[in-house]
């Protein structure tokens, strides 16, 4: 089920009402939450609920055995990790690995048909990377002694399947969410208001900004390169940068808002990423729940920065390439991860990003970071390695440009979104400071009509309906 679908309009009030009715009874409330989350997920394809159940059961029992202090606790941790990665490898990466191996063997004139051996019904289940990572973090935290394993399967399944963040995050740690689910939900008027703010803002970002840009981005990346001008490429990449941000942060906002209505606080997942002054800063602002996951469960266990400089770069590259692969089973995602690793390594070696200070220096750093991020998005959005090459050649004016181009009929709304975004980058800081100073007085009167306007815009200025981009990951 999608947040921007009609069934969800009926589903949500029913769940919130039941949650309120069952607020004083723990297990019936948790049972209802799990059932609602399964209906939400099963709306797409009920048979893939088996995977959530399998992943959950493995981790629930492994955590029990790890927590019981047995000597073989490391084995159960390995079992949990292998179980989750096995599910991911089968459903997300099997075709990619098979295709890559086929191509590799073909270089040595060995012709094997591996992809054909994979059953046709092995498809990528929605949100598999999110819930397997969330589930894995639970057993690892139990192993590290940060968390006592829960003995209540309803509580555990409530944690891994909670519908607002099940398919596209944020990835919430068990240490944060389990205690919240255990307690009776308390929703104050402040929490309810804040939930409304996030939900309205999230829908606006998704339906007005992301969905109106999507057709033009699709057009640039769906057209033969001989028709795409350098301006098209740059504009297409810039629009994709804005689209993916509005799409994903919009989803997070809706998830956080729904969470507030259900008595839960999900962590912040974005913090004005395009205002970052270095790529390292960018990763502290973009998809924060994933980047901290990789930091805590991959980068630091590898040795992090507490090792030799060479080893540190190796850790960084491995983490970023794995992060790229997490996003999708295709070579452009691997290259995207490697590109970010390369820029991060360059930042560490040169330290250039720290040398520019003052307002002009910060502007320069922002521009350079944005450029690096845009190059990354061009790789990320490309359909294939060949298109990565075409995009770069087009962006670098290395092809004869066609006369017409493909972005010839952009609507006034699209121009308004792009100009609005650029202006937002400049006025955000000023507006933020102003809002801090006058929040009490102005926001109290400004927010209700603003919410009405945003909802009207989300309905009547929405773009062609699209699934959330991060569902595919």
Partner 1 sequence: MNTANDPLYTAPPATRESWVRLIVTLCAITLAVATAGYIRARQDAKAPDQLTNVQQLFQLKTFASSSHDLVLVGDSRVYRGVSPDAMRDVLPELRILNMGFSSGGMSDPLLAAAQAKLDRASSQQTIVLGVTPFSLTPEAVANEHWHSCNRRGPGSAVQHAGLRSALKAFRPVVEPPIPGVPSPNSAQYLQKYYADGWVASKMVPPQPQSALRQYQDNFSRSQVDPAVLAALCQKVTTWREAGIRVFAFRPPTTDEMVELEDELSGYVEEDVRQALEAAGADWLDFSGEFYLSYDGSHLSSDDAIRFSQDLAKRISSRYPR
Which residues sit at the interface with partner 1, rule CB under 8 A?
6, 175-176, 179-180, 189-194, 196, 212, 215-216, 218-219, 222-224, 226-227, 265, 267-268, 288-289, 292, 404, 406, 408-413, 439-440, 443-444, 447-448, 451-452, 455-456, 459-465
Residue ranges of the alpha helices (H) in 262-328? 279-283, 288-294, 300-302, 309-327
C-beta neighbour count of 19 within 10 angstroms = 18
Q: How far is the CB of 287 from partner 1 (least distance, A)?
A: 12
Nearest approach in angstroms of CB 456 to partner 1 is 6
| Residue 327 bears catalytic tag | yes
Q: DSSP secondary structure string, 381-447?
A: H-SSHHHHHHHHHHHTT-SPPPSS-S-----HHHHHHHHHHHHHHHHHHHHHHHHHHHIIIIIHHHH
Residues 225, 327, 340, 353: which is the catalytic one? 327
CA distances from 135 to 53, 63, 332, 433, 471 (A): 11, 10, 27, 39, 17
CA-angle at 15, arms to 11 and 19, nearest 5°: 175
The residue to which tokens 């395009």 are assigned: 274
d(CA 441, CA 445): 7
Sign of CA dihedral 402, 406, 410, 415: negative
Helix (H) or strand (E) holding 364, with range, is: helix 358-381
Q: How far is the CB of 144 from partner 1 (least distance, A)?
A: 15
Q: Closer to partner 1 at the Cβ: 350 or 438?
A: 438
Q: Smallest distance, Å, CB 406 to partner 1?
A: 6
CB closer to partner 1 out of 83 and 170? 170
Residue nearer to partner 1 on the CB measure, 151 or 268:
268
CB-nearer residue toward partner 1: 189 or 306: 189
Q: Among residues 371 and 415, whose Cβ is nearest to partner 1?
A: 415
**To the nearest whole angstrom, how small is the minimum distance from the Cβ of residue 463 to partner 1?**
6
CB 337 within 8 A of CB 323: yes
Contact status, residue 32 vs residue 61, Cβ threshold 8 Å: no
Minimum distance between the CB of residue 133 and partner 1, rounded to whole angstroms? Answer: 16
Which of 197, 327 has the CB closer to partner 1?
197
Structure-derived torsion over alpha carbons of residues 265, 269, 273, 278, reported in degrees to the nearest 10: 110
Could you list the active site residues? 327
């Amino acid at each position: 089920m999608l947040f921007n679908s009609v069934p969800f309009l009926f589903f949500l009030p029913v769940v919130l009402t039941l949650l309120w009715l069952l607020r004083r009874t723990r297990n019936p409330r948790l049972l209802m939450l799990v059932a609602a989350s399964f209906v939400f997920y099963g709306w797409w394809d009920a048979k893939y609920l088996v995977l959530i159940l399998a992943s959950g059961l493995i981790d629930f029992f492994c955590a029990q055995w790890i927590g019981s202090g047995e000597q073989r606790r490391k084995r159960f941790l390995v079992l949990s990790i292998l179980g989750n990665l096995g599910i991911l490898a089968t459903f997300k990466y099997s075709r990619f690995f098979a295709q890559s191996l086929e191509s590799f063997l073909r270089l040595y004139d060995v012709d094997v048909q591996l992809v054909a051996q994979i059953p046709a019904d092995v498809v990528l289940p929605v949100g598999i990377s999110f819930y397997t990572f969330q589930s894995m973090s639970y057993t690892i935290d139990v192993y590290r002694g940060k968390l006592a394993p829960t003995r209540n399967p309803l509580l555990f399944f409530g944690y891994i399947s909670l519908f607002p963040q099940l398919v596209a995050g944020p990835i919430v740690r068990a240490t944060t969410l389990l205690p919240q689910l255990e307690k009776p939900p308390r929703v104050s008027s402040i929490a309810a208001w804040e939930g409304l703010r996030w939900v309205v803002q999230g829908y606006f970002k998704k339906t007005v900004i992301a969905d109106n840009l999507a057709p033009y981005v699709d057009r640039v990346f769906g057209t033969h390169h001989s028709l795409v001008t350098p301006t098209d490429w740059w504009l297409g990449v810039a629009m994709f940068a804005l689209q993916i941000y509005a799409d994903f942060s919009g989803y997070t906002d809706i998830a956080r808002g729904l969470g507030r209505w259900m008595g839960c606080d999900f962590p912040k997942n974005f913090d004005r990423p395009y205002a970052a002054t270095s790529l390292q800063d960018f990763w502290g602002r973009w998809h924060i729940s994933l980047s901290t996951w990789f930091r805590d469960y991959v980068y630091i266990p590898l040795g992090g920065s507490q090792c030799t400089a060479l080893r540190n770069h190796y850790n960084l590259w491995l983490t970023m390439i794995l992060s790229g692969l997490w996003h999708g089973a295709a070579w452009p995602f691997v290259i995207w991860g490697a590109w970010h690793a390369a820029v991060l390594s360059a930042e560490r070696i040169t330290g250039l990003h720290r040398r520019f200070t003052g307002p002009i220096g910060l502007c320069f750093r922002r521009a350079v970071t944005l450029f690096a991020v845009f190059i990354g998005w061009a790789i990320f959005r490309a359909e294939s390695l060949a298109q990565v090459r075409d995009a770069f050649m087009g962006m670098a004016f290395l092809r004869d440009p066609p006369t017409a181009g493909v972005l010839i009929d952009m609507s006034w709304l699209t121009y308004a979104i792009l100009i609005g975004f650029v202006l937002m980058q400049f006025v955000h800081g000023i507006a933020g400071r102003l809002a801090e100073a006058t929040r009490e007085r102005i926001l109290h009167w400004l927010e209700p009509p603003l919410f009405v306007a945003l909802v009207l815009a989300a309905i009547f200025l929405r773009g062609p309906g699209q699934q959330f981009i991060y569902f595919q990951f």
